Amino acid sequence: MTLDDLPLRDDLRGRSPYGAPQLDVPVRLNTNENSYPVPEPVVEAIAKAVAAELRDLNRYPDRDAVALRGDLADYLGHGLTTANVWAANGSNEIQQQLFQAFAGPGRTALGFTPAYSMHPLLALGTGTTWVDGRRGDSFDLTAADAAAQVERYRPDLVLLCSPNNPTGTALDPAVLTAVLDVAPGMVVVDEAYAEFARPGTPSALTVLPGHPRLVVTRTMSKAFGFAGGRLGYLAADPAVVDAVQLVRLPYHLSSLTQAAARAALAHRAALLATVEAIKAQRDRIVAALRGRGIRVADSDANFVLFEVGGDQKAAWRALLDRGVLIRDVGLPGWLRVTAGTPEETDAFLTAIEGMS
Ligand code: PMP
């Protein structure tokens, strides 16, 4: 039997699952993970916290993850409390819950392409009509242009991404203000990479007061180096937290995940210590590529989008042949590389040099 033989939904026929190749190569810079392993003292703390839960695995976890949400609110600051925060298995699940609660059949979501490629897929999965909003030729987005597109399509959900994936560029705060002014529904700012932003880049958290339809999503997958732990969260008005609780699966966040994430948050200084080192590699990649005359998007994230010109698939393959796996995000002529350790940057830049 094949997939085609199943009574699959018509709108899912012919689709491919989301996912970058998970290849076993020496240098993996394709999914914007944190290249640094979890430090040993943090490994021990997480192991202890998880072990303490094991005897009670006969019981369901705290369905509302109250203690964890309190810890996340404390990490975010900005006067946020447990009531403002919701957590799930990665920010993908958070965003799926937002689509389920605020979009869905008969409703519309708008994003500004290129942005995070899961956003249209979440629309697909939830039966939401997706509108591909436009950016300028250099992936730029002005306040007037963004507002005009929101006014034209009147979406139930607007997805903004700051720093944006795959460009890496932070959102101009004027764009957010303009969108909030005209959006008829919810506005989500996906801040998966916020911790890597260059100084002076404000988080959308700063405009939460007075904007009850604004939702900021975050993750522990990137700066915290906790991608395998699967922990994403949102900050918003407490009414938004009430709304996503209508669609979340009961006990969605296992007691092991909650305990591991709390232990990781308690050791955040050790985990976030890698952020500055990664930013330095990011800036080094940008400078080295620009030094070679290559066009590069400004990056406030832990990755860099650069122009290879011509066939990006061939360039991607040539780098892979040199043992360096990066990401073809489907943008003609461009590729994206994650900033990791200095050694990984060396390998990437050597491979780039070898190609010319
Ligand atoms: N948002 C953006 C912009 C991302 O790049 C990613 C990870 N690729 C996510 C959200 C989801 O990450 P997670 O589910 O691991 O939190």
**What SS3 state is found at 335?**
strand
pLDDT attached to residue 16:
86
| Per-residue confidence band for 210, with pLDDT thresholds at 50, 70 and 90 | very high
| Per-residue confidence band for 19, with pLDDT thresholds at 50, 70 and 90 | confident
Ligand 1: atom nearest CA of 95 is: 10
Q: Does residue 7 belong to any structural domain of this protein? A: no
Predicted confidence (pLDDT) at residue 171 exceeds the cutoff of 90: yes
> Rounded to the nearest whole angstrom, what is the distance from the C-alpha of residue 175 to the centroid of ligand 1?
21
Report, as an integer, the average pLDDT of 214-234.
98
Q: What percentage of the chain carries pLDDT values higher than 70? A: 100
Q: Which residue has a Cα nearest atom 1 of ligand 1?
A: 192
Best of 193, 219, 299, 300 for a ligand 1 pocket test (most atoms within 8 Å of beta carbon): 219
Residue 224 Cβ inside 6 Å of ligand 1? The answer reads: no
Question: How far is Cα 241 from Cα 95, in angstroms, rounded to an integer?
Answer: 12
Residue 168 Cβ inside 6 Å of ligand 1? The answer reads: no
The pLDDT tens digits for 23-72 are 889 899 999 999 999 999 999 999 999 999 999 999 999 999 999 999 99
pLDDT attached to residue 172:
95
Rg of the chain in Å (alpha carbons): 20
Q: Does residue 15 belong to any structural domain of this protein? A: no
Question: How far is Cα 91 from Cα 217, in angstroms, rounded to an integer?
Answer: 6
Q: What is the CATH number of the domain that holds 27?
A: 3.90.1150.10
Q: Judge contact between 243 and 101, C-beta under 8 A.
A: yes
Q: Does residue 232 belong to any structural domain of this protein? A: yes
Ligand 1: atom nearest CA of 116 is: 3
Q: Are residues 32 and 46 in the same domain?
A: no
Ligand 1: atom nearest CA of 221 is: 15
CB neighbours of 231 closer than 8 A, spacing ≥ 6? 87, 89, 90, 219, 220, 221, 257, 260, 261, 264
> Rounded to the nearest whole angstrom, what is the distance from the C-alpha of residue 78 to the centroid of ligand 1?
22
- β-partners of residue 108 are 129
**Residue numbers of the domain that contains 229:** 40-266
Does the bond joining 163 to the residue before it have cis omega, within 30 degrees of 0?
Answer: yes
Q: What phi and psi values does residue 312 have, to the nearest 5 degrees?
A: -70, -25
Predicted confidence (pLDDT) at residue 356 exceeds the cutoff of 80: no
Q: Are residues 99 and 199 in the same domain?
A: yes
Q: Are residues 57 and 199 in the same domain?
A: yes
Q: Are residues 84 and 207 in the same domain?
A: yes
The pLDDT tens digits for 241-289 are 999 999 999 999 999 999 999 999 999 999 999 999 999 999 999 999 9
Q: Which residue has a Cα nearest atom 4 of ligand 1?
A: 192
Q: Does residue 8 belong to any structural domain of this protein? A: no
Q: Does residue 14 belong to any structural domain of this protein? A: no
> Rounded to the nearest whole angstrom, what is the distance from the C-alpha of residue 23 to the centroid of ligand 1?
19
Ligand 1: atom nearest CA of 227 is: 15
Q: Are residues 320 and 201 in the same domain?
A: no
Q: Does residue 1 belong to any structural domain of this protein? A: no
pLDDT attached to residue 160:
98
Ligand 1: atom nearest CA of 232 is: 16
pLDDT attached to residue 295:
96
| Per-residue confidence band for 320, with pLDDT thresholds at 50, 70 and 90 | very high
Q: Are residues 82 and 208 in the same domain?
A: yes
Q: Are residues 62 and 103 in the same domain?
A: yes
| Per-residue confidence band for 310, with pLDDT thresholds at 50, 70 and 90 | confident
pLDDT attached to residue 189:
98
Which domain-ending residue is among 223, 249, 266?
A: 266
Residue 221 Cβ inside 6 Å of ligand 1? The answer reads: yes
Looking only at the bridges linking them, the beta strands covering 85-88 and 232-235 are antiparallel
Q: How many domains does the chain have?
A: 2
The pLDDT tens digits for 98-116 are 999 999 999 999 999 999 9
Which domain-ending residue is among 212, 235, 266?
A: 266
Which domain-ending residue is among 266, 292, 307?
A: 266
Q: Judge contact between 193 and 222, C-beta under 8 A.
A: yes
Residue 92 Cβ inside 6 Å of ligand 1? The answer reads: yes
Predicted confidence (pLDDT) at residue 215 exceeds the cutoff of 80: yes
Q: Are residues 95 and 141 in the same domain?
A: yes
Q: Judge contact between 49 and 243, C-beta under 8 A.
A: no
The pLDDT tens digits for 69-88 are 999 999 999 999 999 999 99
Report, as an integer, the average pLDDT of 131-147.
96
Residue 166 Cβ inside 6 Å of ligand 1? The answer reads: no
Q: Does residue 5 belong to any structural domain of this protein? A: no
Q: Are residues 135 and 196 in the same domain?
A: yes
Residue 90 Cβ inside 6 Å of ligand 1? The answer reads: yes
pLDDT attached to residue 20:
77
Q: Are residues 285 and 261 in the same domain?
A: no
> Rounded to the nearest whole angstrom, what is the distance from the C-alpha of residue 57 to the centroid of ligand 1?
28
Residue 30 Cβ inside 6 Å of ligand 1? The answer reads: no
pLDDT attached to residue 354:
87
Q: Are residues 288 and 213 in the same domain?
A: no
Best of 95, 98, 116 for a ligand 1 pocket test (most atoms within 8 Å of beta carbon): 116
Q: Are residues 138 and 45 in the same domain?
A: yes
Best of 222, 224, 233 for a ligand 1 pocket test (most atoms within 8 Å of beta carbon): 222
Q: Does residue 341 belong to any structural domain of this protein? A: yes
